[in-house]
Amino acid sequence: MAAQQGSRCEIELVIERTSTTQQNPRTNMRTIAQSSLLMSLNSLLTKFHAGYFRISLSLGGQALLWKTLSSVPTTDDKSNALRRVFHALHPTVFPILWSLALFILILLSLLYILRCLFFFKMVKAEFLHHVGVNYLFAPWISWLLLLESSPFMAPKTVPYLVLWWLFAVPVVMLDVKIYGQWFTKGKRFLSTVANPTSQMSVIGNLVGAQAAAHMGWKESAVCLFSLGMVHYLVLFVTLYQRLSGGDRLPVLLRPVFFLFFAAPGVASLAWESIVGSFDIASKMLFFLSLFLFTSLICRPTLFRRSMRRFNVAWWAYSFPVTMLALASTDYAQEVKGTISHILMLCLLALSFLICLSLTLFTFLNSKMLLPDNDPIANLVIQFPVAD
């Protein structure tokens, strides 16, 4: 009898749950959808990090490249054929490219803001990582690049000035924190934390200097330029002598070695914006960038293991080549020689092909954008943060 009563109770409970489910199917479906959405968002935010701003960095560089080419007056010289093509495509392609770069940057920024709000410990762990901290400059560099290439805003207007301050101040604040750790007492000496991604801090100062020079703020531009170049010299010597743990860089992040020639390339553009011409100093920096680029592409085995499977780190190839291509356009415009124009055409074509290829790879491998073995996404395990 007791067993029969127990089974009756269970049957009644099942009937009640079934009737409740049948009465509110929409509510249950909505609850399931909300829970699955929250789980997907949590998974996305835990795997997302500042390294994904490599995408907006590359697109912003491409937008600046298209604006530069379209603003150069066309001539009848056959060596300027590609430049005339860019000028002809400008009314349609450039605004679309700039709008796409803006949309991607806004989307990435919103995701990172959510990560800061709900997973602040992971952001703090990212700040403590010798690679992750350097990509905290990437969002602000991306915004500065889009500000410079904006088709809707002139450099010497009030909105441009306000936005420059909004994007440049965080770069200086990060400078004070990171550069201060390099020469003061502590566990984060430059010789122990320096790696190729450390040059992102230098690039941030140089891009800020270039944007300030476009406004006519020569003193601010020189200040940021000198701050970036002095630390670049120290950093370059440290990395060149292999005093740091260059071998500590994960294999998947080896594409960031291209940042070696990105910094002098951006420096040549920034100095040209300050002095108003592509002078000897700009040419020296351009030649240094070109030499480092040649040295890296002559060593394909360095990147072979990192190219076996698609990773968001591949986007590190695009921005440095774009900056070198930008410098080559100014160099060709200054020199006006056949060799300089051939070099410009080759670098422009390479920059465009790399960006286009990476865009296609990203769309075709969208499921691989958030891998489980990302070297930066697992920072909490490597660098636990105390409550």
**pLDDT level of residue 29 (50, 70, 90 thresholds):** low
Task: Go through the domains of the chain in sequence order and give each one's CATH number.
Answer: 46-376 (1.50.10.150)
What is the tens place of the pLDDT at every residue in 113-152?
999 998 888 888 888 888 888 999 999 999 999 999 988 8
Which pLDDT does position 366 carry in this prediction? 75
Give the span between the Cα atoms of 210 and 129, in whole angstroms.
29
Report the percentage of the chain scoring pLDDT > 90.
45
Which DSSP letter does residue 369 get? Answer: S
With H, G, I as helix, E, B as strand and everything else as coil, classify residue 374. Answer: coil
* Long-range contacts, 203-206 (Cβ 8 Å, 24+): 203/137, 203/141, 203/228, 203/259, 203/262, 203/263, 203/266, 204/137, 204/140, 204/141, 204/144, 204/171, 204/174, 204/175, 204/228, 205/171, 205/175, 205/231, 206/263, 206/266, 206/267, 206/269, 206/270
What is the tens place of the pLDDT at every residue in 70-99?
776 555 454 455 555 555 555 677 888 999
Q: Is the pLDDT of residue 12 over 50?
A: no
Task: Yes or no: say if 310 and 358 are a contact pair by the CB < 8 Å rule.
Answer: no
**pLDDT level of residue 180 (50, 70, 90 thresholds):** confident
Which pLDDT does position 130 carry in this prediction? 82
Which pLDDT does position 57 carry in this prediction? 94
Give the mean pLDDT of the chain.
82
Contacts of 98 (CB under 8 A, 6+ apart): 63, 66, 67, 146, 149, 150, 151
Output the pTM of the full model: 0.85
What is the tens place of the pLDDT at every residue in 247-281?
567 788 889 999 999 999 999 999 999 998 999 99
Which pLDDT does position 166 carry in this prediction? 95
Which pLDDT does position 13 carry in this prediction? 43
Q: Is the pLDDT of residue 18 over 50?
A: no
Which pLDDT does position 91 carry in this prediction? 66
